Chains A and B, each alone.
Chain A
Amino acid sequence: MTEPLLSVRDLRVTFPTPQGPVEVVKGVSFDLGQERLGIVGESGSGKSMTGRAILRLIRPPGKVTAEKLAFQGRDLLSLPEREMRALRGARISMVMQDPRYSLNPVMTIGRQIAEALRVHENLSRSATRARVRDMLEAVQINDPDRVANMYPHEVSGGMGQRVMIAMMLIPEPQILIADEPTSALDVSVQAQVLDLIDTLVKDKGMGLILISHDLQLVARYCDQILVMNAGRVVERCAAGELDKATHPYTRGLLASVPRMNEDRDTLPTLDRTAWEGT
């Protein structure tokens, strides 16, 4: 068997609080190959913390432990910060949930994407500009030259998400962790952006961790799905089998999605007592 790109065993994230330490990720384990793994789950269930922990982006006083956290066999937890920094953005990149606030506010978008490209390859100025332009076009930005000259606060919510994706994809990372990457986009643009990511998975063998609250989207764009609740993985299934999910929590999530032909007056919400203690 070949070694997975990423191997995670018993990952835990803990924060101190006035009431004592709170574990927000409680022993998550999975392997990621050259494939697409979806993570879904309720708000606050630990999805973003899992993604950030892999890149060691949990801010102190938060603490990360794991029995194993390895990228292509290299232990990430013991890697010196300098090497970790070199890895981030180049080999493993992460699209953050708040894109406009994760971008540098005082640098134009074009320059930020160009810098991300520079860690990957050294190109002339005009070649760099052309690549940045192509990348913006690939994420469906209609007027790439105008947008390249804008600052992050000048782009719309959905444009900000696509700029972040462009910046994370341009160095052709081996793993992309995408945290709600398309939550501000309408279905057709969303599909075009996810198709682009898909192409990189298929053609370049990139591994994808797609964090999303959109169950349909994860079912369509992933191979495997982890369902998280209160810091734990409560269900694992093949993406095609999501509608056959058995955990009451997963069933509850599926029921609360509004439909195009909505005639319910109130939406069903989760009865949290149904699985408490599981």
Chain B
Amino acid sequence: MTAAISLNNLDISYSGTRVVEGVTFDVAEGESFALVGESGSGKSTVLKAIAGLAPEWSGEMSILGQPRGHGPDKDLARTCQMVFQDPYGSLHPRKTVDAVLSEPLAIHGLGNRSERIEKALRDVGLDRRFRFRYPHQMSGGQRQRVAIARALMLEPKIMLLDEPTSALDVSVQAEILNLLKRLRAEQNLTYLLVSHDLPVVGFMCDRVAVMTKGRIVEIAPVDALHHGDFTDPYSRQLYAASGG
């Protein structure tokens, strides 16, 4: 079976400064894989490189068996979508929710737009009042849900989720996590999820990679969160601090 995401010895830099070093892992199709670790350790950077937004990388990267080039890739958008850590920055300030959600459908020539938009909004728990709002007319959590809805519009196979629920209160978080879990089961989606919240990782993921200072120090099955059997000192410290 081909891996959904395969990274081999990936180094990533910004303007010549290397921030991620030697990252290697495979995520199987249908698997949910977590990246956790220190703030500033390079988690978002790994996701950005896969999405084509951090072009200064070396090593090997392939998505569903296709080697990945160094720029943005329109076909990739159909199979692989990203939800960004800052919902504010990822939504265009002068576009309504309706415009944000219909754009990918138009680019990829998909029909039934109105129905699809209403369904996507319902899925993330937003009623139709929000359809014609601008980002500044919504709360932080409402914006984040629009960003999740947008990523789901094209029914991708792979979702890169960067702290998708950290702006959400626990009740909405529960709804979104349940939705993501159900979609994965129904459509065999693959998730690469960044989260600082270990219980969220325990609920959503099969395996977890721990990063610090640009490197992965340990990859463990998610059971490690139940039993606390991490081996690397940094992972142990992170686990202990989270009340594990």
Tally of contact residues, B, Cβ under 8 A: 52
B170 contacts partner chain A, Cβ-Cβ < 8 Å: yes
Q: In the complex, which residues of chain A have a beta carbon less than 8 angstroms from the beta carbon of B38?
A: 186, 189
Q: B65-73, B111-119, B147-155, B194-202: which one contacts chain A?
A: B194-202
State the CA gap A157–B89 with chains docked (Å): 11
State the CA gap A100–B44 with chains docked (Å): 14
B141 contacts partner chain A, Cβ-Cβ < 8 Å: yes
Q: In the complex, which residues of chain A have a beta carbon less than 8 angstroms from the beta carbon of B231?
A: none
Residue of B nearest to A192 (CB): B241
State the CA gap A267–B203 with chains docked (Å): 9
Residues of A55-95 contacting chain B, CB below 8 A? 59
- How far is the CB of A253 from the nearest CB of chain B, in Å? 6
Residue of A nearest to B37 (CB): A186
A121 contacts partner chain B, Cβ-Cβ < 8 Å: no
Residue of A nearest to B196 (CB): A186
Q: In the complex, which residues of chain A have a beta carbon less than 8 angstroms from the beta carbon of B140?
A: 43, 48, 97-98, 180
Q: Which of A40, A155, A268 meets B174, CB within 8 Å? A: A268
The proximity string for B residues 109-139 relative to A, scoring 1 for CB distances below 8 Å and 0 otherwise, is: 0000000000000000000010010001111
State the CA gap A180–B170 with chains docked (Å): 13
- How far is the CB of A248 from the nearest CB of chain B, in Å? 12
Most buried by B among A183, A214, A260: A260
Q: In the complex, which residues of chain A have a beta carbon less than 8 angstroms from the beta carbon of B37?
A: 186
- Tell me whether A42 and B88 are in contact (CB under 8 A): no
- Tell me whether A157 and B237 are in contact (CB under 8 A): no
- Tell me whether A186 and B242 are in contact (CB under 8 A): yes
- Tell me whether A43 and B142 are in contact (CB under 8 A): yes
- Tell me whether A258 and B242 are in contact (CB under 8 A): no
- Tell me whether A43 and B172 are in contact (CB under 8 A): yes
Q: In the complex, which residues of chain B have a beta carbon less than 8 angstroms from the beta carbon of A98?
A: 86-89, 140
State the CA gap A253–B171 with chains docked (Å): 6
- Tell me whether B243 and A262 are in contact (CB under 8 A): no
- Tell me whether A184 and B137 are in contact (CB under 8 A): no
A191 contacts partner chain B, Cβ-Cβ < 8 Å: yes
State the CA gap A260–B86 with chains docked (Å): 25
Residue of B nearest to A249 (CB): B171
A15 contacts partner chain B, Cβ-Cβ < 8 Å: yes
- How far is the CB of A97 from the nearest CB of chain B, in Å? 5
Most buried by A among B86, B132, B140, B172: B140
Nearest first, the 9 closest Cβ-Cβ pairs linking A and B are A43-B141, A158-B39, A213-B169, A188-B241, A267-B174, A256-B174, A258-B199, A186-B196, A98-B88
Interface residues, chain B, with chain A CB atoms under 8 Å away: 14, 36-40, 44, 85-89, 129, 132, 136-142, 145, 162-163, 166-175, 177-178, 181, 196-200, 202-203, 225-226, 237-238, 241-244
With A259-B202, A260-B243, A269-B171 given, name 19 new contacts (CB 8 A): A18-B132, A42-B169, A42-B171, A44-B142, A47-B139, A48-B139, A98-B140, A101-B89, A157-B44, A157-B163, A184-B85, A186-B241, A187-B242, A188-B241, A189-B39, A253-B170, A258-B177, A258-B197, A260-B198
Between-chain CB contacts (< 8 Å), 12 pairs: A40-B169, A43-B140, A97-B140, A100-B86, A157-B162, A180-B167, A186-B38, A253-B169, A256-B171, A260-B225, A260-B242, A269-B175
